[in-house]
Structure 1
Amino acid sequence: MYPSHQHSLSDAGPTTVSNRVPLIFRRLHRFQQMDFELAFWQLTYLCLAPRRVYKNVYYHKQTKNTWARDDPAILVLLLGALVGASVGWSIAYSLAPLDALRVVLLMIVRDYLLVGALMATIVWFFANRVLVSPSNHSSPTDSSVEWAYAFDVHTNAFFPFYLTLYIAQLLLLPVVLRDNWVCLWVGNTLYLVGFAQYVYGIYLGLNALPFLIRTEILLSPLLPLFASYVLSLLGFNVAKNALHAYFGS
């Protein structure tokens, strides 16, 4: 069960199992109430100027009494994008219908939802234990990271990662699978960029919260990431090995 978080007044009520599910998931069926225009704007600026997406976080807290977004439109768009990517990869690898369905489930359930739940839990726990300013511990309701917000941060960080490793890599597939150093460099650089974008996205999301300090710690994975990238250029094709593990060919 996910850690509980605050809900808007419209969803207030007795604490139940369903109320502990993040609000963004409980509203997935309310398509008519979703603001897809805002969600598309957010996805665009997550690539162009990601800091702008977090400028309204404090305003959202003041008006909705929660740091986490309550509109699942961005979730719907991202799930649709993952379905589109899975279709593209299935065509590229000439997969049978059942294998193509397996890829859809892998990308949505494992890559985005399960990894996202794990990352959100790690970020939620680490931020509340290590990054919260000591002066704010007296008011934990207003000065703690909600699990749902940590999942939002994962969602925001995942989209540039998705564009790099699910779309750009697909378009460059004939290049990254070739056996020469230049193609190895292209493929490995894609993975460096994708994971660096994700790490930076997590940092931006928590850095936007006014009660957190030392958020620069969240950038520390960039050092081993870059070191691993440099070592991989000696002859380890990250893209080829990752795709072999994913598709088995």
Structure 2
Amino acid sequence: MSVLPLSSPTIAYHGNPAPRSSAISTRVPVIFKRLLRFQQMDFELAAWQLTYLCLSPKRVYRNVYFHKQTKNTWARDDPAILILIAGCLCVSAIAWSVVYSYSLLKAIQLALLMVFRDYLLVGIIVATLLWFFSNKMLLSPPSHSAPTDSVVEWAYAFDVHTNAFFPFYLTLYLAQLFLVPIVLRSNWVCLFVSNTLYLAAFAQYIYGVYLGLNALPFLVRTELLLAPLLPLFTGYIVSLLGFNVAVHVLPMYFGS
């Protein structure tokens, strides 16, 4: 009597096990594999999504269901939105470089830091934490009606970060740029404007993360994702007693 294997067998190539590189490549999100395929990118749709992430983010997440039905994945497979965000960060880097009188080399370095550290590296860390937390704590109990693939994809968690990052970018990377002469002044009104700006940016990001995961029908207790708002608001109230966030953050960030 034959016995079924407990795990799927490894496909052999000329008598050798399948190369590890092919197994690793299957785990790389499609959106990263297509980063250089500009002809296949839909920049018009990406621009529409970025616009509505600020005006009506729930409308963007309605398209998630359509994407799941047509492509059998919750995560987007078009990296156009990544390219647009990277372009926006580069423009901001140029503008901030003018404000701080950076050289061309330092301006390029700042652009690379904004794209690869602030957006991609932080996004990878946040997506990993969201992916782990969601699959461990937020999955609904198994039932006969629940689909078998009711898990949060890592690529979708990165999408959630991407969607939440853009309003954050508009607030701290763009709006703050025009408010630099105000937020760095040493009076209470300017302190209030500065700290409220940072409060709005992080609150938008947290709420965006909540909306993204709340859109998945198989997750429960997604309200837990709003928990960071409590310490955020508490810190904001305390900071109004005399701690100007921008005065401390900007010199540290730009090294001045």
TM more than 0.5: yes
- Which residue of 137, 160, 163 corresponds with 2:167? 160
Equivalent position of 1:171 in the other structure: 178
- Which residue of 38, 47, 71 corresponds with 1:40? 47
Residue by residue over 1:39-90, the C-alpha shift from the partner in whole angstroms, topping out at 9 and shown as x without a partner, is 1110000000000000011221111111000011111100100000110100
Report 1 or 2 for greater relative contact order, CA contacts < 8 Å, sequence distance ≥ 6: 1
Name whichever of 14-23 and 175-184 sits farther off: 14-23
1:235 aligns with 2:242: yes
Equivalent position of 1:99 in the other structure: 106
> Taking every aligned residue pair, what percent have the same amino acid on both sides?
70
Alpha-carbon separation, structure 1, partners of 2:79 and 2:101:
33
Equivalent position of 1:148 in the other structure: 155
1:75 aligns with 2:82: yes
Residue by residue over 1:5-51, the C-alpha shift from the partner in whole angstroms, topping out at 9 and shown as x without a partner, is xxxxxxxxx95322221110110111111111111110000000000
> Runs in 1 of length 4+ with deviation above 6 angstroms?
137-140
Q: TM-score, normalised by structure 1?
A: 0.92
3-state SS of the aligned residue for 1:213? coil
3-state SS of the aligned residue for 1:145? coil
Alpha-carbon separation, structure 2, partners of 1:28 and 1:98:
25
Residue by residue over 1:146-181, the C-alpha shift from the partner in whole angstroms, topping out at 9 and shown as x without a partner, is 000000000000000000000000010111111111
Equivalent position of 2:254 in the other structure: 247
Larger Rg: 2
Q: TM-score, normalised by structure 2?
A: 0.89
Equivalent position of 2:208 in the other structure: 201
Q: Structure 1 counterpart of 2:149, which letter?
A: D
Runs of 5+ in structure 1 lacking a partner?
Answer: 1-13
- Which residue of 55, 61, 67 corresponds with 1:54? 61
Alpha-carbon separation, structure 1, partners of 2:191 and 2:144:
49
Alpha-carbon separation, structure 2, partners of 1:89 and 1:28:
26
Residues 136 and 211 in structure 1, CA contact (< 8 A), matched pair in contact too: no
Alpha-carbon separation, structure 1, partners of 2:67 and 2:47:
18
Residue by residue over 1:181-231, the C-alpha shift from the partner in whole angstroms, topping out at 9 and shown as x without a partner, is 111111111100000000000000000000000000000100100000010
Residues 46 and 160 in structure 1, CA contact (< 8 A), matched pair in contact too: yes
C-alpha displacement of 1:140: 7.5
C-alpha displacement of 1:142: 1.7
Name whichever of 57-66 and 14-23 sits farther off: 14-23
Equivalent position of 1:26 in the other structure: 33
Equivalent position of 1:8 in the other structure: none
RMSD: 1.5
Name whichever of 23-32 and 140-149 sits farther off: 140-149
